[in-house]
Structure 1
Amino acid sequence: MTQSSAAGARPDTDAILERVRFNADGLMPAIIQQHDTREVLMLGYMDAEALRRTLTEGRVTFWSRSRQEYWRKGDTSGHAQYVRQAALDCDGDTLLVEVEQIGAACHTGDRSCFDADALSPVVGEAPTL
């Protein structure tokens, strides 16, 4: 993944927003990942303004579908997410944000939103060539 801007430089957010394919509700999923361990921490949703704030402020901002308002991880909990890198997927409809996570990422207090409900799927085996 390439860094979207040099340290201290502002990304061309208008050009980035032109490449994004938001869904019918004007949102896109954003996968949040710890930058050094690659641990998947959570998934949130962003509209154009939340994405703009995330890319230009250095902190992750989401759009709350339930509260219909912007929220920035850590403003009330202290468990903040500091942006390290960001990338769009090949279709431009999903964002991956690598962060430095301070404290828990999940509202339940767990490090990751994927810690509590591990499933037991059948493990597939790749064919040997």
Structure 2
Amino acid sequence: MTNRCEARPDDAVVPALNDLIGSTESMIAALDRGDYDELTMLAGVRQGQVEGLERRRTAPGGSARGGPDVQAAVVRLQERTEELKDRMRERSASIMSAIQALQKRRFYDAGTQRRE
């Protein structure tokens, strides 16, 4: 992701980064609720926000990294994104464990029925 904008870097990028942080937090909440339809929709919104940031350009004389506000927002975004990734890994592991438990139970139940 690039932290560049057409005007003053901090003024244009910080609100966009904050929107991206908000979308990431909404994705975490949807994942926690198990609302996969909303999670899918929010993933599309978030991707559009990322693409919008990637298309921005640095103003003449502006820093591509932006000022302290931009850097702080990027750090917050990275933290929230890592939390989202961790939660998705946890949820995936839980789902896989549940699937394996169901498979074992079906195998056990099938074996028990054959013996009867």
Shorter-chain-normalised TM-score: which range? under 0.3
Larger relative contact order (Cα-Cα within 8 Å, sequence gap ≥ 6): 2
Q: Whose helix proportion is higher, 1 or 2?
A: 2
Structure number with greater Rg is 2
TM score, norm. by length of structure 1: 0.20
